[in-house]
Amino acid sequence: MSARILDGVPLADAIRAEVGAEVQRHRAGGRAPGLAVVIVGENPASQVYVRAKGKACEEAGMHSETVRLPEAVTEAELLATVERLNRDPRIDGFLVQLPLPKHINGERVLNAVDPAKDVDGFHPVNVGKLSIGDPTALKPATPFGVQQMLIRSGIETRGANAVILGRSNIVGKPMASLLIQQGEGGDATVTICHSKSRDLPGICRTADILIVAIGRPEFVTADMVRPGATVIDVGINRVDDPSQPKGYRIVGDVAYGPVSEVAGAITPVPGGVGRMTIAMLLQNTLQAFEQAGGR
């Protein structure tokens, strides 16, 4: 059996088109939503990601702003930038790109973001809202994208056994919160696994839906997957490969080839969940704009 490929590209493009149509409607009525990204230092991966966010924002017709700060910026200076964006009426949502330099307390910075503009969904207020099912919560973009991928691909979550491999605040925990809520894309029975879980392969084999976000290249193998299960690979890892022109290749947290012969559906890496993340960031910005009274 060869798994159905859950291609994130057309799904993300559809969401971006929907957001773009709403943005044009708002622009005609007054102004467009605005998104800002704050980046500290010259981390190459962050630079690429920030450029992609800015391009997607502009393609959707949103106001876009990128704030670039040097690696040596002080925590006080970064907090002052956050406060400026909190007060800026042109900016409806913004995020501070992670990771931050070691001399900066990342938790303090993220908690300084106005929850109403927290399009990353990391502020404790949005975490709490998500956990109780408050529809005004701004949801972390990656798990939100996974949920939309499941919904739009016709993968039934109601009553399904969903196993999440990884317990991070960015993916694992909010993913569980989304899947246990009542309604579309929810009503699942959720298990979260981590490094201290006993019989990890056995737990994974109970999954109708297996979501992997552990940060270990090709960790999940075919013997860990129940035949016919849906496998969502959130991981993005660079591994050395002398046969490739750049000397490396990008792989997920799932051994894609062998697992695709067992699973019923699977996401590729790249081209899967990663494309959904930016689409949901735009969706969050639109939501923040509308919740703030944008017209």
Does 293 score more than 90 pLDDT?
Answer: no
For the chain, domains (ranges, CATH) are 30-114 (3.40.50.10860), 141-274 (3.40.50.720)
Annotated active-site residue 97? The verdict is yes
List, for residues 26-42, the tens digit of each pLDDT value.
998 889 999 999 999 98
Q: What pLDDT score does 294 carry?
A: 67
List, for residues 126-184, the tens digit of each pLDDT value.
999 999 999 999 999 999 999 999 999 999 999 999 999 999 999 999 999 999 999 99
List, for residues 105-121, the tens digit of each pLDDT value.
999 999 999 999 999 99
Annotated active-site residue 287? The verdict is no
For residue 223, the 8-state DSSP code is G
Instruction: Report which of 41, 38, 43 is spatially closest to residue 54, judged by C-alpha positions.
Output: 38
Q: One of 53, 117, 129, 173 is an active-site residue; which one?
A: 53
Q: Which residues contact 74 (CB under 8 A, 6 or more apart)?
A: none
Reported pTM: 0.95
**Can you list the alpha helix ranges (DSSP code H) found in 75-216?**
75-87, 106-112, 124-132, 141-152, 172-180, 200-204
Order of strands across the sheet with 93-96? 63-69, 34-40, 93-96
Percent of the chain clearing pLDDT 90 (strictly above):
87
CA 50 to chain centroid:
14
Q: Let me know: does 8 contact 252? Beta carbons within 8 Å.
A: no
Q: One of 92, 114, 118, 120 is an active-site residue; which one?
A: 120
Q: One of 97, 148, 283, 287 is an active-site residue; which one?
A: 97
| E-assigned strand segments in 176-228 | 189-193, 209-212
Annotated active-site residue 244? The verdict is no
